[in-house]
Structure 1
Amino acid sequence: MHSLRHITVIAPHFKRRLSGVTSTVVQLVPEQIRLGRGIVTLGPGLPDGLPKMKWRQLLALWSPPEGARWRVWHARRNTEMLPGIILRHVFRMPLKLLFTSAAQRRHTGYTRWLIRHMDAVVATSGRSGSFLEVPHTVIRHGVDLDLFHPASGEEDTIAATGLPGKYLIGCFGRVRHQKGTDLFVRSMIDLLPDHPEWTAVVNGRVTAEHQAFADELKKAVADAGLSERIRFLGEVDDIKPWYRKLALYVAPSRNEGFGLTPLEAMASGVAVVASDAGAYAEMIVQDHTGAIVPAGDYQALREAIRHYLANPEETLKQGKAGLEHVRENFALTREAEALETVYNRLLA
Structure 2
Amino acid sequence: MISVNVIDVIVPNFKRRLSGVTATVVRLAPLQARMIPLAVAAPSMPPDIPQVPLWSLPLMSRRGPSGWRVWHARRNVEMIGGLALRHLLGKRLRLVFTSASQRHHTGLTRWLIRRMDVVIATSEKTAAYLERPARVIRHGIDNTTFSPAADRGAVRARLGLAPDGLLIGCYGRIRAQKGTDLFVEAALRLCAAFPDLRAVVMGRAQPKDAAFLDDLRQRVRAAGMEHRILFRDEVPVWEMPDWYRALDVYVAPQRWEGFGLTPLEAMACGVPVVAADVGAFRELVAEGETGFVVDAGSAERLERAAAELLADPARLDRFRAAARTHVERQFDIHTEAGALVAIYQRLLAEEDA
Q: TM-score scaled by structure 1?
A: 0.96
CA contact (8 A) 1:267 1:323 kept: yes
CA contact (8 A) 1:96 1:346 kept: yes
Q: In structure 1, how many angstroms separate the alpha carbons of the residues matched to 2:248 and 2:267?
A: 10
* Cα distance, 1:333–1:156 mapped onto 2, change above 3 Å: farther
Q: In structure 1, how many angstroms separate the alpha carbons of the residues matched to 2:145 and 2:161?
A: 24
CA contact (8 A) 2:309 2:316 kept: yes
1:323 aligned residue:
324
1:174 aligned residue:
173
1:50 aligned residue:
49
* Cα distance, 1:55–1:200 mapped onto 2, change above 3 Å: same
2:309 aligned residue:
308
Q: In structure 1, how many angstroms separate the alpha carbons of the residues matched to 2:26 and 2:208?
A: 26
1:17 aligned residue:
17
Deviation at residue 156 of structure 1 after TM alignment? 4.6
Q: In structure 1, how many angstroms separate the alpha carbons of the residues matched to 2:312 and 2:208?
A: 38
* Cα distance, 1:58–1:160 mapped onto 2, change above 3 Å: closer
Deviation at residue 52 of structure 1 after TM alignment? 1.2
Q: Secondary structure in 1 aligned to 2:2?
A: coil
Deviation at residue 297 of structure 1 after TM alignment? 2.2
2:229 aligned residue:
230
CA contact (8 A) 1:149 1:268 kept: yes
Q: Which amino acid is 2:150 matched to?
A: S
Which among 81, 84, 87 is matched to residue 85 of structure 2? 87
Cα-to-partner distance string for 1:53-94 (whole Å, 9 max, x where unaligned): 11221134333222x111101000001000101111121110
Q: How does 1:128-277 map to 2 (within 5 A)?
A: 128-153=126-151, 156-164=154-162, 165-237=164-236, 238-277=239-278
Deviation at residue 198 of structure 1 after TM alignment? 1.4
Q: Secondary structure in 2 aligned to 1:333?
A: helix
Cα-to-partner distance string for 1:223-282 (whole Å, 9 max, x where unaligned): 101111100011123222111111110001110111100000011010000011111110
Q: TM-score scaled by structure 2?
A: 0.95
Q: Secondary structure in 1 aligned to 2:177?
A: coil
Which among 63, 67, 70 is matched to residue 69 of structure 1? 67
Which among 113, 119, 140 is matched to residue 111 of structure 2? 113
Q: In structure 2, how many angstroms separate the alpha carbons of the residues matched to 1:65 and 1:163?
A: 52
Deviation at residue 45 of structure 1 after TM alignment? 3.4
CA contact (8 A) 1:5 1:65 kept: yes
CA contact (8 A) 2:142 2:333 kept: yes
Q: Which amino acid is 1:249 matched to?
A: Y
Q: In structure 2, how many angstroms separate the alpha carbons of the residues matched to 1:55 and 1:160?
A: 40
Q: In structure 2, how many angstroms separate the alpha carbons of the residues matched to 1:121 and 1:312?
A: 44
Q: Which amino acid is 1:206 matched to?
A: A
Q: In structure 1, how many angstroms separate the alpha carbons of the residues matched to 2:95 and 2:18?
A: 24
Of 313-322 and 221-230, the range deviating more from structure 2: 313-322
Deviation at residue 320 of structure 1 after TM alignment? 1.2
Of 5-14 and 91-100, the range deviating more from structure 2: 5-14
User: % of aligned pairs identical?
Assistant: 48
Q: In structure 1, how many angstroms separate the alpha carbons of the residues matched to 2:62 and 2:88?
A: 15
Number of residue equivalences: 346
1:332 aligned residue:
333
Q: Name structure 1 gaps, 5 residues minimum.
A: none
CA contact (8 A) 1:263 1:283 kept: yes
Q: In structure 1, how many angstroms separate the alpha carbons of the residues matched to 2:258 and 2:245?
A: 24
Cα-to-partner distance string for 1:286-340 (whole Å, 9 max, x where unaligned): 1100000111122222211121221233123202101000000000001011111
* Cα distance, 1:62–1:138 mapped onto 2, change above 3 Å: same
Q: In structure 1, how many angstroms separate the alpha carbons of the residues matched to 2:59 and 2:317?
A: 53
Q: Name structure 2 gaps, 5 residues minimum.
A: none
Q: Which amino acid is 1:220 matched to?
A: R
Deviation at residue 14 of structure 1 after TM alignment? 0.8
CA contact (8 A) 2:266 2:272 kept: yes
